[in-house]
Amino acid sequence: MRPQEIVERTLAAAAHLHGCAVVVQESSEAVLRWANSTMTTNGHTTSGRVTVIAMVAVEGGTAAGVVSSSVAVTDPAQLADLVRAAEASARDAGPAQDAMPLPDPSETDPTWDDPAAETSIGVYGTFAEGLAEVLAGPQRQYGFASHELATTWLGTSAGVRRRWVQPTGSVELNAKTPDLSGSAWVGASTADFTDVDVVDLAAQAARRLDWGKRKVTLPAGRYETLLPPSAVSDLMIYLAWSMEGRPAQEGRSALSGPDGTRVGERLTGLPLTLACDPAAPGLAYEPFLTTTRSGDGVSVFDNGAPTRRVDWVREGVIAELGWSRAEAAEFGTTFTPPGDNLLLTGGSDASLEEMAGRTGRGLLLTCLWYIRLVDPASLLLTGLTRDGVYLVEDGEVVGEVDHNFRFNHSPLDVLRSATEVGATERTLPREWKDWFTRAAMPPVRVPDFTMSSVSLGR
Amino acid sequence: MPDLDPVFAGLPLTALADAALSRARDLGAQHADLRVERIVTQSVDLRDGRVTGVADDVTVGLAVRVIVDGVWGFASHGDLTPSRAAATAERAVAVARTLAPVAVERVERADEPVHVAEWVSAYDVDPFTVPTREKVELLTEWSHRLLASDGVDHVQAGVAQVRENKFYADLTGTRTTQQRVRISPTFTATSVDRGAGAFETMSTLAPPVGRGWEYLTGTGWDWDAELAQVPELLAEKTKSPSVQAGPYDLVIDPTNLWLTIHESVGHATEYDRAIGYEAAYAGSSFATPDLLGTLRYGSEHMHVTGDRTQPHGLATVGYDDDGVATSTFDLVRDGVLVGYQLDRTFAPRLGLERSNGCAFADSPHHVPIQRMANVSLQPDPVRDTSTAELIAGVERGIYVVGDKSWSIDMQRYNFQFTGQRFFRIENGELAGQLRDVAYQATTTDFWGSLDAVGGPSTWVLHGAMNCGKAQPGQVAAVSHGCPSARFRGVAVLNTQEEGS
């Protein structure tokens, strides 16, 4: 059954309810993976899912129940079953705290009737040729390339009919010296792989392996540190995940202030802006909200609401927190939808290389790994450097630290203490790319990044 | 044994297998296997005694994996029809052929006897037969009990449930049909001190388990006792002193130690990691195969096993996703590395004739990889030493209870853990709680400092529903059993000082 027909038949089956939203998703993904310079697990998958969100009038308000299924729809009776199950779930749940009327349609979607977009292993045509060349090279190569096209149709009983195709692609190259004593990483995000030059990426990794020919040993401590865009993105993503308004308002978040939230507090004198923007060139996401769960800052009752640019931090000042429409009404603030990209801007035009060139003595990182929250009150994170920590002296990389470091540092403190921020560029978050692939970040100089201990991991 | 889900049992499993496997064979595959999966999940979540979400989901699909001229190919689809199964087999073969030019190594696999079997995990009440209203009422009652206590300002409660059905068939004739149930109840109480700009939380210590709804009604965990205890412990924690950083002797409760085992032993003894298959993502391991039989992993008190057979274990299953009958095996014996977790591809590389059954895919749309067994520290086989006796042997130390924050490097050397509750030990006795504690160590130093393990009466099975690995990312549930254990001279950080 066509997705559009699934939406209409489901809404018809739910006509007796207070409201209903239907989300149909079809996803197609082609992946390549390699290790020890040979291919390991590769594949092409196709999957689909129908989610029915039933809004039901119950004693004390309106309830919501969410039921989803990846079973292929061949019979309209399946859809009626889903509606019945979602309705029953809603009645069992009782009145929802986030109940609101579903948003009215804001515009007509000219692509509504279009089919699902589909990728294939063929998307790697030119890339695969380059990869063969890289795998035949002198370094040991490890890595992963993924391309997904996910098509979403959203229909609601309020009349919303929207379709969106989300391309998500990434490639990571981890090159190691033949004796495994050196390791370097480069990554890139892409919409279609036409802009990925894997041979060039491998050359970048090889350059870093060359830096590692001279090894230095450094103790744990606080170092002036150059965080490259990937490392900055993984730290800022954690901050973005902490921007929900309700926990801040209720005193249980790092964004809580003495009398409410910390909106309005200046973090830095640098004009830095941390934002999500559905219209960001090359990093676009759905211009309308689609969600199959409610929680802090997000509500199933908001399905179909327009998304918008949100400045979490604007010109160095905490500016907005995430609020569903119901929370916005409860706390007297503005509906602030979540986003699916993250942009940090406001730095200079300097590249990472130029910033390294101005460094007297400091560490140049490659990326961060295994980042976890230690203290939610301060947003203290721990994690490790990975695949290359380089010592910069008098503007030159003079060698690679022969180990990694465990760090303990808060992304709030990264913004507070940054002394230099460079040019924003599209980057791939090493750790969180599976959940947050679309990011544009600058390199950042932090004068006192806390390297808590030495890790022997390479 | 509980019955198989009739919806799954009613699927055309044989027809799908025949269609996929015959097409793969006709196209030249030397190996082909088909998995058909149906995974049913439900989550119920409450905040401050009110439902924030009830979500039910069903995932179904079929996956075909082939080896063509020594190269893997994989494809999957959501449609469960014989024609789609055959087409998916064609696509898997096409993937293998497309990538053959860049595949340097050729796949070899260990043999396995043919199995035709049905297997269902151990549970009493299928949680999907319990009305959702009953679940909401129970969690609401828990929440209100906590909220009624002084000092508890907010409560989050929830329960996640999974029923996983899996059919496996391959060209040798193996055909297995299996069903597993697992459940994860949670609650967290939060105390807010607005004046001080501070807040503190405390969560249940109850682990996710391979049990049914009976787990929430008294089998396997004493919820009433814990619900009564948490507000008092939380109130004490908010007033407790901040730890002074430095080396301490630690007595670590199974509610915390399981996670340290998971990260520093479980992942480090995965063979795919040890030979670099995860090097670009989850990471590799310091415990490389050349050290097998000689690496001093820890003290002589350290005996760690892997198994997929422990009753109620989250990784427990009858047959893995390579069609291998599961078993129990040693990983670290007398403190020395002696084994790895394997699948059929890796067993021959160690000269073994059979895999120990650790292949797993978390969905029909993912390829099976080597995943973690239940990796468990064994208790003292001679004496049933109690936790109190372990504490009695500490002059100045900390008793660590419950897991919270965790992080370890990509070769599993350097880790840092926090916990739910930290109790100061003075002259062999508990002396109130501490705050802001994290312990940090290098794996072999830490396990080398193990000077005593508790007896069988302290051994508890804990675990996680959400262990991540591989690209595309896969999530697996896994349990870890362990006794209380004592470690000497472990570095303890003050997390407030680290962040200031």
CATH code (residue A151): 3.30.2290.10
Based on the domain organization, do A280 and A408 belong to the same domain? Answer: yes
Q: How confident is the model at residue B105 (pLDDT cuts 50, 70, 90)?
A: confident
User: Phi, psi at residue B398, to the nearest 5°?
Assistant: -140, 135
DSSP states along A77-90: HHHHHHHHHHHHHH
Phi/psi at B60 (5° precision) = -130, 155
Q: Dump the DSSP string for A233-246.
A: HHHHHHHHHT-BHH
Residues A25 and A92 placed together within one structural domain of the fold: yes
Which residues neighbour A210 within 8 Å (Cβ) at sequence distance 6 or greater?
A: none
Nearest CA-CA partner of B260 in B2, B84, B450, B39: B450
The candidate with the shortest Cα–Cα distance to B163, out of B130, B195, B134, B138, is B130
For residue B270, what are its two tokens?
Answer: 């995965």
The answer to whether the CB of B477 falls within 8 A of the CB of B310 is no
Q: Of the residues A181, A208, A235, which one is the last residue of a structural domain?
A: A208
Partner-chain contact B51 A41, CB within 8 Å: no
Position with higher pLDDT, A134 vs B194: A134
Question: Between chains, do A374 and B498 touch, taking CB under 8 Å as contact?
Answer: yes
- pLDDT given at position A40: 84
User: Considering only alpha carbons, which residue of chain B is nearest residue A174?
Assistant: B280
Paired tokens of A88: 């029953």
Question: B369 contacts in A (CB within 8 Å)?
Answer: 41
Chain A contacts of B362, Cβ < 8 Å?
A: none
Question: B56: nearest CA in chain A?
Answer: A67
Residue B472 φ/ψ, nearest 5 degrees: -60, 150
For A120-124, B113-117, B454-458, B473-477, which range has the lowest pLDDT when averaged over its residues? Answer: A120-124
Disruptive mutation site among B161, B346, B471 for chain A (greatest number of A CBs within 10 Å): B471
Show which of A179, A208, A237 is a domain's final residue.
A208
Q: Using an 8 Å Cβ cutoff, are A305 and A256 in contact? A: no
Specify the pLDDT at position B499.
76
What does the alpha-carbon distance between residue A208 and residue A200 come to, in Å, rounded to a whole number?
13
Query: Would the pLDDT of B142 be above 80?
Result: yes
> In this structure, are residues A251 and A257 in contact, taking their beta carbons and an 8 Å threshold?
no
Q: What is the pLDDT of residue A193?
A: 93
Q: Which residues of chain A have pLDDT under 50?
A: none
Is there a contact between A392 and A226 (Cβ–Cβ < 8 Å)?
yes
Question: What phi and psi, each to the nearest 5 degrees, are found at residue B496?
Answer: -65, -40
Average pLDDT over residues B299-326: 98
Look at chain A and report how many structural domains it folds into.
2
Strands B175-193 and B116-120 come out as parallel
Give the length of chain A: 458
Closest chain B CA to residue A262: B197
Q: What pLDDT is attached to residue B54?
A: 94
Do A395 and A275 have their domain in common?
yes
Judge if A61 and A39 occupy the same domain: yes
- Specify the pLDDT at position B1: 79
Task: Using an 8 Å CB-CB cutoff, list chain B residues near A434.
Answer: 471-473
Q: Which residue has the tokens 């219209």?
A: A279
Do residues A384 and A340 both lie within one domain?
Answer: yes
Q: Do B52 and A373 touch (CB under 8 A)?
A: no
Asked if B57's CB is within 8 angstroms of A67's CB, the reply is: yes
pLDDT recorded at residue B197: 84
**Does the pLDDT value for residue B101 go beyond 90?**
no
Name the residue of chain A whose CA is nearest to B105's CA: A38
The DSSP annotation for B274-324 comes to HTTTTTTTT---SS-GGGTTT-B-S-TT--EEEES-STT-TT--SB-TTSP
Q: Distance between CA atoms of B73 and B107, rounded to whole angstroms? A: 11
Domain final residue pick, A156, A189, A208? A208
Alpha carbons B340 and B338: distance in angstroms, whole number: 7
Enter the CATH code of domain B6-239: 3.30.2290.10
A&B contacts, CB < 8 Å: 271
Q: Which residues in chain A are contacts of B101 at CB distance < 8 A?
A: 132
DSSP letter, residue B243? P
CA distance A393 to B218: 63
Q: What are the backbone angles phi and psi of residue B359, rounded to the nearest 5°?
A: -85, 135
Of B53, B56, B61, the CB nearest to A70: B61
Q: Which chain A residues in 333-352 lie under 8 Å from chain B, judged by CB atoms?
A: none
Identify the H or E element spanning A60.
Answer: none
Residues A221, A186 share a domain: no
**What is the rounded distance in angstroms from the CA atom of residue A400 to the CA atom of residue B222?**
53
CA distances from B155 to A20, A34, A322, A326, B158 (A): 29, 45, 20, 20, 10
CA distance B162 to B218: 19
| Res. B186: pLDDT tops 90 | yes
One domain for residues A257 and A339: yes
B196 touches A at CB < 8 Å: no
Contact B56, A68 (CB under 8 A): yes
Lookup: tokens for B205: 């210590």
Q: Does B365 touch chain A (CB under 8 A)?
A: yes
Share of chain B above pLDDT 70, in %: 100
Q: Is B440 on the interface with A (CB under 8 A)?
A: yes
Note the ipTM here: 0.94
Q: What is the pLDDT of residue B189?
A: 98
Comparing CB atoms, the residue among B59, B91, B102 nearest residue A44 is B91
For chain B positions 11-40, those within 8 Å of chain A (CB to CB) are none
The CATH 3.30.2290.10 domain(s) of chain B lie at 6-239
Which pLDDT score, from 0 to 100, does residue B281 have? 94
Q: Are residues A329 and A316 in the same domain?
A: yes
A204 with A224, same domain: the answer is no
Residues 395-434 of B with CB under 8 A from A: 405-414, 416, 418
Q: Is A61 left (phi over 0), alpha (psi -120 to 50) or beta?
A: left
SS3 A346: coil
Tell whether B442 lies on the interface with A, counting CB pairs under 8 A.
yes
Interface contact B132-A380, CB threshold 8 A: no
Asked if A71 reaches chain B (Cβ–Cβ under 8 Å), the answer is: yes
Please tell me which residue of chain A has the smallest CA distance to B134: A92
pTM: 0.96
| Among candidates A68, A373, A404 on the partner chain, residue whose Cβ is nearest the Cβ of B409 | A404
In B, minimum Cα distance to A406 occurs at B414
Chain A contact present for B246, CB below 8 A = no
Q: What is the mean pLDDT of residues B190-205?
A: 94
- CA–CA gap between residue B33 and residue B291 (Å, rounded): 34
Chain A residues near residue B195 by CB distance under 8 angstroms:
258
Mean pLDDT of the residues in chain B: 96
Q: How far apart are CA A260 and CA B385, in angstroms?
A: 50
What is the DSSP secondary structure assignment for residue B244, as one 8-state letter?
A: P
Instruction: Check the CA dihedral A8-A11-A13-A16 and report its sign.
Output: negative
Q: Does residue A242 share a domain with residue A176?
A: no
Structural domain harbouring A458: 213-458
Structure confidence at residue A457 (pLDDT): 84
Chain B residues 283-322 with CB within 8 Å of chain A: 283, 286
